[in-house]
Amino acid sequence: MDKKTFIKVVSDARKESKKRNFSQKFDLIINLENIDLKKQQVDFYATLPHLRGKQLRTCALVGLELADEAKANCTKTLTQEEFVQFQKKRDIVKLADEFDFFIAQANIMAKVATVFGRVLGPRNKMPNPKAGCVVPPKTNLRPLIERLEKTVRVQAKKQLLIQVMVGSEEMPDDAVAENAASVADQLIHHLPGGKNNVKSMYLKTTMGKAVKVA
């Protein structure tokens, strides 16, 4: 997709958005067509050229072997011994809402699934190998965290609709535009019919009007 087109759309989206007392995000909204989601699910992780303008929050679910490394790099670390604290569903829901990505130590993944899967699964927050979030007991987590800071999940499972955060108001227009263009390009390459599966595309701020991408 053309970056210049997106720069104009970002500018127009700012104009269509009233100033709020919080930092609004930019969402890219894509309507799909001519896809049977029962046969062809759209679900992948896209790497952005720039940060999204939102601080990444990660929670590591690990054994003692990885605890120190996780504490040094992740927002929160829960060791296997601490899983017992999460016997109530509401506590896991609160945890799920607090973090963008969950990272799990591979050899305790079965325990992670047993304790947290009933909540994280339906919310698409389970540690996912496709995102690199299931890791060996001995690993350097810093490269993963740096990659996740520029990673978004592009997904359409039940509706022919995709909504992805591509930036925030604090970011310059060209950075938001490059992120949006990158997501659009990666999506087109994942669609069976390419551009023919894209019905329409919009960009909007959190509380602003949607601006159509030409």
Residue 21: is its pLDDT beyond 90?
no
How many Cα atoms occupy the beta-carbon half-sphere of 55 within 13 Å? Answer: 5
Q: Calculate mean pLDDT across residues 53-82.
A: 96
pLDDT for res 206:
92
Q: Which residue has the tokens 């896209």?
A: 46
Q: Which residue has the higher pLDDT, 41 or 164?
A: 164
pLDDT for res 205:
95
Strand stretches in 64-197, DSSP E? 76-79, 101-105, 134-135, 151-156, 161-168
Does this model's pTM top 0.85? Answer: yes
- 80's enclosing H/E stretch is none
Residue 127: is its pLDDT beyond 90?
yes
CA angle 30, 159, 169 (to 5 degrees): 35
pLDDT for res 118:
96
Q: What is the Cα–Cα distance from 75 to 137, expressed in whole angstroms?
A: 18
| 76 token code pair | 């929160």
Residue 211: is its pLDDT beyond 90?
yes
Residue 172: is its pLDDT beyond 90?
yes
Q: How many Cβ atoms sit within 10 Å of the Cβ of residue 118?
A: 11
Residue 214: is its pLDDT beyond 80?
no
CA angle 120, 122, 126 (to 5 degrees): 35
Domains of the chain plus CATH, in order, are: 3-53+152-212 (3.30.190.20), 58-148 (3.40.50.790)
pLDDT for res 119:
97
pLDDT for res 4:
85
Band (pLDDT 50/70/90 cuts) for residue 20 is confident
Band (pLDDT 50/70/90 cuts) for residue 178 is very high
Q: Which residue has the higher pLDDT, 39 or 89?
A: 89
pLDDT for res 2:
77
Band (pLDDT 50/70/90 cuts) for residue 22 is confident
